[in-house]
């Protein structure tokens, strides 16, 4: 069955059962492998992507719910040549060990900072709670998110691209 899905600004027509979780469509049909399968039951956050302006758990989101919604994955935050502020911050802070939790962390942080780029560390910690990291990269992740916020504020002041 064919389903229309708008991901990272592009509309795709995918051959998937409407009850398929978004995670599977992103990875299997669209080969956007940033979002990861960690638990499949919405408890680890490795599958986090954005739908419109909110962070959602794509492993428990059937695509039938997403008519007319805009999905953003980590691939939509920038490119290798031109990384967005979130990606740049994570690179600069070297915030990854195995890297499995990172796209989910970045997307949840992106949703938070898009709403308010000047949030404090305490707010960042509270908002990242649904995302787990088994390697213990938490301190660097938080530093990276703080850095991304600073970059976003800088960009919006300097009129640069986000």
Partner 1 sequence: MTRKAVSAASPANELSFPFNIRMLLAGWKALYLREGPLQPDSNRSAEWNRGRYLVEGLSHCGACHTPRNRLGGEKKDEYFAGAEVENWTVYPINANSPAPVPWNAESLTFYLRHGWHEHHGASRGSMAPVTANLGSIPEADVRAIAAYVSDVMGHPSQARIARGEAALATARKESDAPFAMRTNSTGNGVGEAIFLSACQGCHDGRRPVPFGGLNLHLSSAVNAANAQNIINVTLFGLPAAKGEPSAIMPAYHGVLNPDQLVALLDYMRDRFSDQPAWTDTRERVTATMSGEREVPIYRMDGTTQAPPETSMRTTPWP
Summarize as ranges the residues that interact with partner 1 (CB under 8 A).
Answer: 18-21, 40-43, 51-52, 54-57, 60-62, 64-66, 69, 129-130
User: Buried b vs exposed e over 18-47: b needs ≥16 C-beta within 10 Å?
Assistant: eebbbbbbbbebbebebbbebeeebebbbb
Among 103, 98, 117, which Cα is nearest to 46's?
A: 103
Identity of the residue, 42 or 83, whose beta carbon is nearer to partner 1 in the bound complex: 42
Minimum Å distance from CB 122 to partner 1?
14
Minimum Å distance from CB 21 to partner 1?
7
Q: What's the Cα-to-Cα distance from 24 to each of 13, 31, 82, 92, 114, rounded to whole Å?
A: 14, 9, 27, 30, 26
Identity of the residue, 71 or 141, whose beta carbon is nearer to partner 1 in the bound complex: 71
Identity of the residue, 22 or 151, whose beta carbon is nearer to partner 1 in the bound complex: 22
Minimum Å distance from CB 100 to partner 1?
18
């Amino acid at each position: 069955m064919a389903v229309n899905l708008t991901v990272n600004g592009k509309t795709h027509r995918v051959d998937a059962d409407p009850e398929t979780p978004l995670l599977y469509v992103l990875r299997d049909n669209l080969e956007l492998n940033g979002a990861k399968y960690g638990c499949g039951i919405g408890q680890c956050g490795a599958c986090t992507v954005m739908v419109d302006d909110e962070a959602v758990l794509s492993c428990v989101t059937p695509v039938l719910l997403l008519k007319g919604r805009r999905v953003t994955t980590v691939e939509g935050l920038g490119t290798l040549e031109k990384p967005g502020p979130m990606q740049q911050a994570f690179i600069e802070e070297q915030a990854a060990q195995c890297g499995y939790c990172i796209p989910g962390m970045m997307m949840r942080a992106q949703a938070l900072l898009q709403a308010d780029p000047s949030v404090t560390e305490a707010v960042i910690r509270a908002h990242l709670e649904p995302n787990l990291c088994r390697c213990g990269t938490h301190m660097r992740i938080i530093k990276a998110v703080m850095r991304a916020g600073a970059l976003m504020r800088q960009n919006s002041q300097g009129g640069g691209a986000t």
